[in-house]
Amino acid sequence: MTSPLLRIEHVTKSFDDVVAVDDLDLAVEEGQFVTFLGPSGCGKSTTLRLLGGFEVPDSGRIHLGDDDVTRTPPNRRDVNMVFQDYALFPHMTVERNIAFGLELKGRGRGEITRRIDELTDFLGLADLRARMPDQLSGGQRQRVALARALAPDPRLLLLDEPLGALDAKLRGQVQVELKAIQRRTGKTFVFVTHDQEEALTMSDRIVVMNAGRIEQDGTPEDLYRRPVSRFVADFIGETNLFVGTILDNRSGLVTIEWPSVGRVIAGSTTDHPPGASITLALRPESIVCRPAEPDLANRFEGRIRQRIFKGPRTTLEIEVGHETLTAAIDPATAATLTDDRLWLGWPPEAVAVLRD
Amino acid sequence: MRSGSGVFLSLTYWAFVVYLFVPLALMVTMGFKDSAFIGFPIQNWTMRWYTGVFQDGEVLGVFAYSLAIALSSTFFSLVIGTWIASFLGPTTFRGKLLVFGLACLPAVVPGIISAISLRIFVQFLAIEPGMAAIVLGHTVHNVPFVMLVVMARLSTQPRSHVEAARDLGADALTAFARVTLPYLKPALIGAAVFCMLLSFDDFVRSFFLGGYEPTLPVLIFAMLRSGMSPEINAIATVVLILTAILGLWAEKSMRTSERKTAA
């Protein structure tokens, strides 16, 4: 087993009594696309700035490979950053911007030219080399910033919400591009965003942060299907949350009494004993809706209160007992359902038992 | 009512223009009078006062002396003013306001007070009255203007510019020289021209701190005491034209340079 490229050990950072990063502990393997995801103020940007060397932790250590870089200034770390506002040098051409890091590393003229050729070809900037930053579009600036940060061939590339300034359509395109670039370069990317869709699209691994701490750390699929907390379930995608009482908990199946609805079986493990009150999460697209009783462990009768057509999916607001569930089903199936009576159900593994 | 106030405003504006330009026009015109004394009527016109300015070795020498003082005091003011601005700009520390206030003080102390105190100080330091003393005096006076202009520009520079430079391998000094200094260029041009004009125009400090060699304003003052000759008008007109050109050039190059770095 190789040692991880990046190790963050019990790092804490406060600003004027506000704890921005609280005892963060994390290791990142080489070649991963890791995303720190969370709302503003959750500590994700501070974590990135700690990795870049723009902040020094109050306690804890940061290792890059075998080196302790906790107090190494930014200019002596093998780490480069793509800034939120791109921070292109306004008085330099695209080419001079990209060359900046290479010149300071003392690379020869020939090598610098070769590297610029390589990167401008790779990122489709070949025709823009002589332009000034104010003559570029948002997407072009973003690529120049990326080229500039990749030029010195850093061991770790940090990206601080670099897609925030792009319009929605371009953003989707750049997400796919960025992921492809990461694959082709094999570089380790640490990406920061508050946009859950962006995180799901690009990441090999997502670290959800809240109030300076790691809320959950896993693959995009893990996080989506198996959120561990209310915060994660709520933050990533749409979800139905409901509270019930544990009746039985054995062999990987938890039986829960959901007041006014009935018994729900969840294919999950939990430490909570019978009698405890717990929160469950259920994704709208996991709910199956049928005119007749389905063959599923969890099945209930309900009434449709509202239908919302959303193109590929139709969203139904369904009244079950005194509760309301949101289901997302395909429009063809929705057309076969009558509003005042339908069956809905879901398999046990669709239900996630949350810790809070 | 609205048009009434409009008429009033435009009248006062034109009154102001007349008040501003008639003396200047008179001064320029009198430089063409073929007589040893100024005053109407002008019977004969001549160019001799103007050509005389460019042939008068004393006037040219004094002009060069004033220019040398302006250039050197501007250079020192830019260096010191930028240094204080960079020091005060990004950091917050206890007593920052005090340092800022002290740095601004020379701009608001009355010229005569500052001139007398500088004279005493220079004597105390055993510096002979003359060029070094005048440069010192002008520098002290000009530093606050440089500092204020540079601080204003510095506050518009995104923090990420310097961070990006540091991230790419620049130490603090290299980042300042290669990223911050070019960003400050329009402010530095503006401050430099302003300092040049302040220094070139200064009478009180130059008078108190000067030795036997006069600066241009001091020379003009001395000439005035021996009578209003049209030569004075000619000298003043040449200075007027040169400073106007310098001011306009600074304005233009500041604009273009600011536009270039606006991205």
User: Among all chains, which residue has been given the structure tokens 């105390």?
Assistant: B124
pLDDT at A52: 94
Strands of the sheet containing A298-309, edge to edge, are: A288-290, A342-346, A298-309, A314-320, A323-329
Q: Using CA atoms, how far apart are residues A269 and A251, in angstroms rounded to an integer?
A: 8
H helices of B31-56, in order, are 48-55
Question: For residue B199, what are the contacts with CB-CB under 8 A and spacing of at least 6?
Answer: B66, B69, B70, B73, B74, B138, B142
| pLDDT tens-digit map of A234-246 | 899 889 998 999 9
pLDDT of residue B138 exceeding 80: yes
User: Among all chains, which residue has been given the structure tokens 């080196």?
Assistant: A67
Residues A30 and A178 in one domain: yes
Residues A128 and A246 in one domain: no
List Cα–Cα distances, A243 to A172, A234, B134, in angstroms.
Answer: 36, 14, 83
pLDDT at B48: 82
The maximal CA–CA distance of chain B, rounded, in angstroms, is 74
pLDDT of residue B242 exceeding 70: yes
Task: State the total domains in chain A.
Answer: 2
Q: Do B168 and A100 touch (CB under 8 A)?
A: yes
The minimum CA-CA distance between B189 and chain A, rounded to whole Å, is: 16
Phi, psi (deg, nearest 5) at residue A36: -95, 120
Q: Using CA atoms, how far apart are residues A230 and A204, in angstroms rounded to an integer?
A: 22
pLDDT at A16: 87
Q: Do B171 and A80 touch (CB under 8 A)?
A: no
pLDDT of residue A2 exceeding 70: no
User: Measured between beta carbons, which residues in chain A are less than 8 angstroms from residue B176?
Assistant: none
User: Measured between beta carbons, which residues in chain A are less than 8 angstroms from residue B262?
Assistant: 90, 134
Q: Using CA atoms, how far apart are residues B170 and B189, in angstroms rounded to an integer?
A: 25
The least confident of A154-158, A251-255, A345-349, B73-77 is A251-255
pLDDT at B55: 83
Question: What is the domain partition of chain B in residue ranges?
Answer: 56-260
Residues A193 and A267 in one domain: no
Q: Which of A101, A86, A61, A232 is nearest to A163 (CA)?
A: A86
CB proximity A75 to B under 8 Å: yes
The least confident of A37-51, A264-278, B117-131, B186-200 is A264-278
Residues A291 and A320 in one domain: yes
pLDDT at B133: 92
Residues A211 and A247 in one domain: no
Task: Please tell me which of the candidates B167, B185, B263 has its beta carbon nearest to residue A74.
Answer: B167
Residue B159: closest CA among chain A residues belongs to which residue? A87
**Pair A230, A356: CB distance under 8 Å:** yes
The region, left, alpha or beta by phi > 0 then psi within -120 to 50, assigned to residue A126 is alpha
Q: Do A89 and B171 touch (CB under 8 A)?
A: no
Say which amino acid occupies A158: L
pLDDT of residue B21 exceeding 80: yes
pLDDT at A30: 92
pLDDT at A151: 93
Pairing relationship of beta strands A298-309 and A156-160 according to DSSP bridges: unpaired
* Per-residue pLDDT band at B47 (split at 50, 70, 90): confident
The angle at the Cα of A286, spanning A282 to A287, to the nearest 5 degrees, equals: 90
Residues A257 and A199 in one domain: no
Write the burial class of residue A31 (CB in 10 Å: 0-12 exposed, 13-18 middle, 19+ buried): middle
Pairing relationship of beta strands A18-28 and A156-160 according to DSSP bridges: unpaired
Residue B259: closest CA among chain A residues belongs to which residue? A134
**CATH homologous superfamily, domain B56-260:** MetI-like (1.10.3720.10)
User: Measured between beta carbons, which residues in chain B are less than 8 angstroms from residue A53?
Assistant: 166-167
Residues A112 and A79 in one domain: yes
Q: Do A85 and B160 touch (CB under 8 A)?
A: yes
**Pair A10, A60: CB distance under 8 Å:** yes
Q: Do B164 and A83 touch (CB under 8 A)?
A: yes
pLDDT at B262: 56
pLDDT of residue B119 exceeding 60: yes
Q: Using CA atoms, how far apart are residues B16 and B9, in angstroms rounded to an integer?
A: 11
User: Measured between beta carbons, which residues in chain B are less than 8 angstroms from residue A52?
Assistant: 163, 167
Q: What is the mean pLDDT of residues A197-226?
A: 93
pLDDT at A8: 94
Whether A233 is in a domain gets the answer no
Task: Please tell me which of the candidates A75, A87, A148 has its beta carbon nearest to residue B158.
Answer: A87
Q: Do A75 and B166 touch (CB under 8 A)?
A: yes
| pLDDT tens-digit map of B176-233 | 999 999 999 999 999 999 999 999 989 999 999 988 888 999 988 888 887 777 888 8
Question: For residue A328, what are the contacts with CB-CB under 8 A and spacing of at least 6?
Answer: A238, A284, A285, A287, A310, A313, A314, A315, A316
pLDDT at B2: 56
Q: Do B163 and A87 touch (CB under 8 A)?
A: yes
Q: What is the mean pLDDT of residues A194-217?
A: 93
Say which amino acid occupies B87: F
pLDDT of residue B13 exceeding 50: yes
pLDDT at A74: 93
The minimum CA-CA distance between B88 and chain A, rounded to whole Å, is: 20
Residues A302 and A196 in one domain: no
Q: Which two tokens stand for residue B142?
A: 């000009």
Q: How many CB atoms lie within 10 A of CB B36?
A: 10
pLDDT at B4: 74
Q: Which residues is A328 bridged to in the sheet? A: A315
CATH number, domain with residue A138: 3.40.50.300
**Pair B61, B54: CB distance under 8 Å:** no
Q: What is the mean pLDDT of residues A149-159?
A: 93
Q: Using CA atoms, how far apart are residues A355 and B213, in angstroms rounded to an integer?
A: 88
The minimum CA-CA distance between A303 and chain B, rounded to whole Å, is: 55
Whether A149 is in a domain gets the answer yes
Whether A231 is in a domain gets the answer no
The region, left, alpha or beta by phi > 0 then psi within -120 to 50, assigned to residue B176 is alpha
The minimum CA-CA distance between B102 and chain A, rounded to whole Å, is: 29
pLDDT of residue B98 exceeding 70: yes
Task: Please tell me which of the candidates B167, B170, B263 has its beta carbon nearest to residue A81.
Answer: B167
Residues A215 and A347 in one domain: no
Residues A205 and A61 in one domain: yes
ipTM: 0.84
CB proximity A133 to B under 8 Å: yes
3-state secondary structure of A160: strand
Task: Please tell me which of the candidates A79, A104, A132 has its beta carbon nearest to residue B170.
Answer: A104
Task: Please tell me which of the candidates B166, B261, B262 has its beta carbon nearest to residue A74.
Answer: B166
Residues A262 and A319 in one domain: yes
Q: Do B260 and A79 touch (CB under 8 A)?
A: no
The maximal CA–CA distance of chain A, rounded, in angstroms, is 76
The minimum CA-CA distance between A74 and chain B, rounded to whole Å, is: 5
Task: Please tell me which of the candidates A87, A101, A134 has its beta carbon nearest to residue B161.
Answer: A87
User: Measured between beta carbons, which residues in chain B are less than 8 angstroms from residue A106?
Assistant: none
Residue A86: closest CA among chain B residues belongs to which residue? B160
The minimum CA-CA distance between B46 and chain A, rounded to whole Å, is: 51
Q: Which two tokens stand for residue B135?
A: 């440069």
pLDDT at B236: 86
* Per-residue pLDDT band at B263 (split at 50, 70, 90): very low
* Per-residue pLDDT band at B261 (split at 50, 70, 90): low
Q: Which of B22, B3, B20, B205 is nearest to B112 (CA)?
A: B205
Task: Please tell me which of the candidates B169, B178, B261 has its beta carbon nearest to residue A90.
Answer: B261
Whether A1 is in a domain gets the answer no
| Mean pLDDT (chain B, rounded) | 87
**Pair A313, A283: CB distance under 8 Å:** no
Residues A221 and A248 in one domain: no
Write the burial class of residue B108 (CB in 10 Å: 0-12 exposed, 13-18 middle, 19+ buried): exposed
R_g of chain A computed on alpha carbons = 25
Supply the range of the domain harboring residue A272. 238-353
| Mean pLDDT (chain A, rounded) | 91
